[in-house]
């Protein structure tokens, strides 16, 4: 593990970022890989991807906690948006990797953050980013069928005290909702523990931010950037049709649909994500 960062961003928020390096003596090669986690998760949701990637290639990795998640603060009172998360990603990149090429990997809300970053920083995105992996995500979730009681629960959460839900998140229910049909119990427990630590207003307010976001126009920047799209056919939160829509907007992209896999691809499809990153590193160069 390398350096930890504190990154001040807009609206008074302060983001935690962590650098990961290969074992001592190994020469770092290739672009820096930046990992953006999903809604209600934190940077630790990438732990299996990080371990696998560092075993297979001596690459530098940076991950971070989105505002209001993990060790990052939300900042002063405001209505969060995915566009703000795009700004946050730009600030994290400036603080941790001001120079050199990048591979961006985003899961769920993290993929939306990458799209927003591309829309806000089009020139920098096409100049520095050598490849993108978009996992279990969408440019817009307009028309999505809500999970039962979802809207009511999120309305309550967005106005709740700033405390984590803890026992209000039944592990069994969330495991069935988030994961596919071959989920590892330890992975389910690891993911649910992150949700239990996320404050309820963060959960509710970012639910509305995700519901309102639309980054379809930003996808024009991806045409010149090699892009892998990964989706599970058992994803109940962001179904495969949204991955197919991404593929249609980015005709140069590669879509892989994984049978039996749910929404939590950083756990359920570790090697698929790592293979996609390695492919981008091997097939692109400065």
Which phi and psi angles does 255 have, rounded to 5°?
-105, 130
CA dist., res. 252 & res. 249, Å (int): 9
Spatial separation of the C-alpha atoms in residues 52 and 17, rounded to whole Å: 20
pLDDT of residue 104: 98
Angle of helix 185-197 versus helix 171-178 axis, rounded to 10: 110
Alpha-carbon torsion, ordered 111, 114, 115, 120, to 10 deg: 160
Instruction: Per residue of the chain (286 residues), give pLDDT as tens.
Output: 789 999 999 999 999 999 999 987 678 889 999 999 999 999 999 999 999 999 999 999 999 999 999 999 999 767 789 999 999 999 999 999 999 999 999 999 999 999 999 999 999 999 999 999 999 999 998 877 665 545 545 555 555 545 455 544 544 446 678 999 888 999 999 998 998 888 888 888 888 889 889 999 999 999 999 999 999 999 999 999 999 999 999 999 999 999 999 999 999 999 999 999 999 999 876 5
Q: What per-residue confidence (pLDDT) applies to 267?
A: 98
Domain 4-142+213-283 CATH class label: alpha beta
Rounded Cα distance between 223 and 246, Å, is: 11
Nearest to 105 by CA among 58, 45, 56, 57: 45
Number of H helices, E strands in the chain: 11, 8
Q: Answer yes or no: are the C-beta atoms of 72 and 13 closer than 8 Å.
A: yes
**Which residues fall within 8 angstroms of residue 137, CB to CB, at 6 or more apart?**
106, 107, 108, 109, 110, 111, 112, 115, 238, 242, 243, 246
Contact yes or no for 48/272 (Cβ under 8 A): no
């Amino acid at each position: 593990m390398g350096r930890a960062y504190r990154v001040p961003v807009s609206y008074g928020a302060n983001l935690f970022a962590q650098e990961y390096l290969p074992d001592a003596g190994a020469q770092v090669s290739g672009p820096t890989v930046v990992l953006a986690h999903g809604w209600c998760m934190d940077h630790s949701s990438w732990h299996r991807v990080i371990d696998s990637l560092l075993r297979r290639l001596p690459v530098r990795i940076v991950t971070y906690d989105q505002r209001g998640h993990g060790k990052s603060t939300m900042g002063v009172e405001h209505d969060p948006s995915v566009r703000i998360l795009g700004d946050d990603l730009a600030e994290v990149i400036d603080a941790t990797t001001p120079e050199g090429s990048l591979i961006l990997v985003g899961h769920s809300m993290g993929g939306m953050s990458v799209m927003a970053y591309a829309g806000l920083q089009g020139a920098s995105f096409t100049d520095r980013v050598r490849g993108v992996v978009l996992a279990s995500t969408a440019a817009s979730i307009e028309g999505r069928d809500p999970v039962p009681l979802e809207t009511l629960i999120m309305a309550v959460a967005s106005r709740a005290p700033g405390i984590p839900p803890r026992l209000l998140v039944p592990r069994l229910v969330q495991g069935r909702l988030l994961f596919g049909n071959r989920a590892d119990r330890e992975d389910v427990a690891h993911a649910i523990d992150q949700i239990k630590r996320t404050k309820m207003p963060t959960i509710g307010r970012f639910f509305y931010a995700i519901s309102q976001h639309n980054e379809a126009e930003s996808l024009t920047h991806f045409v010149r950037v090699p892009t892998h799209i990964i989706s599970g056919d058992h994803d109940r939160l962001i179904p495969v049709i949204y991955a197919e829509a991404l593929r249609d907007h980015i005709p140069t992209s590669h879509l892989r649909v994984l049978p039996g896999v749910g929404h939590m691809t950083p756990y359920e499809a570790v090697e698929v994500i790592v293979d996609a990153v390695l492919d981008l590193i091997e097939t692109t160069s400065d």
